[in-house]
Structure formats: C-alpha cells, structure tokens
C-alpha cells in the first residue's frame, strides 16, 4: 500500500508557534499532497509536492519531501487559532489514473 501515515496523531501548540507534522509512506509515488479538514467539514487542498521536488512553500506553509526516506513534513509557521484543524497527507501512485491514498491525519489545536 502507498498509504501515508502522519505523526503526531495530535498536536497542541500556543498561537504564534510553529507546527510541524510528519508523514511517511511505503511505495514509490508521483506526488504527495497535504489537505486540511475543519471539524465535520470537507477537505481543502493545501499544497502538492512532486516526487522530483524537495521543498515547496505556500504562504505560511512549507512542505519537504525526502523520497529516500519516504517521508514528508508540513510546517505551519506563526500559527493562528484559525489553523486549528486536522491535516492529512495523501500520496498519488505512479500509475496514470492512480487515486490518492490518505493517512490517518494529525489533529492540530492552536491554543490562544
């Protein structure tokens, strides 16, 4: 299975601090994506990093990918209360019409 697995399962930090979430996967991938989900709501695509990329930025988000270790990290800098959500990594396999497979997610709670 190409399944991603995030750690930690839950993370609580003070507002203003940086939050780092990690994801590991098992098989070769075409790309890895991070999604956010507010409680009981839909999934919002945050950022995609391709297998030939090592780092990508989008606003306060920084994603790294290490294909040799089959791992990725999502860093949210200067966290805000509104960042409270669950964050999922999802990997897309190498086949042309491969679906994405989600990990179990990290529940992030930003304390005011």
Partner 1 sequence: EPEVTQTPSHQVTQMGQEVILRCVPISNHLYFYWYRQILGQKVEFLVSFYNNEISEKSEIFDDQFSVERPDGSNFTLKIRSTKLEDSAMYFCAGHLGPGGGYTFGSGTRLTVV
Binding site for partner 1 (CB under 8 A): 30-31, 33, 35, 40-45, 48, 50, 88, 90, 92, 96-105
Q: Which is nearer to partner 1, 72 or 105 (CB)?
A: 105
Q: How far is the CB of 16 from partner 1 (least distance, A)?
A: 28
Instruction: Give the integer Cα–Cα distance in Å for 1 and 3.
Output: 5
Instruction: Give the integer Cα–Cα distance in Å for 70 and 15.
Output: 30
Q: Which is nearer to partner 1, 21 or 100 (CB)?
A: 100
Q: How far is the CB of 37 from partner 1 (least distance, A)?
A: 8
Q: Lay out the sheet containing 19-24: strands in order across.
A: 5-7, 19-24, 71-76, 61-66, 55-58
Instruction: Give the integer Cα–Cα distance in Å for 78 and 15.
Output: 7
Nearest partner of 107 among 89, 88, 80, 79, judged by Cα: 88
């Amino acid at each position: 299975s190409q399944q991603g697995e995030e750690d930690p399962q839950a993370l609580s930090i003070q507002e203003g601090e940086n939050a780092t979430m990690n994801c590991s996967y098992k098989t070769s991938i075409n790309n890895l994506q991070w999604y956010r989900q507010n409680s009981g709501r839909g999934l919002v695509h945050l950022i995609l990093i391709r297998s030939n990329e090592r780092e990508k930025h989008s606003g306060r988000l920084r994603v790294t990918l290490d294909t040799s270790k089959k791992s990725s990290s999502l860093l949210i800098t200067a966290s805000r209360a509104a960042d409270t959500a669950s964050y999922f990594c999802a990997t897309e396999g190498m086949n042309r019409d491969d679906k994405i497979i989600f990990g179990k997610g990290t529940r992030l709670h930003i304390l005011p």
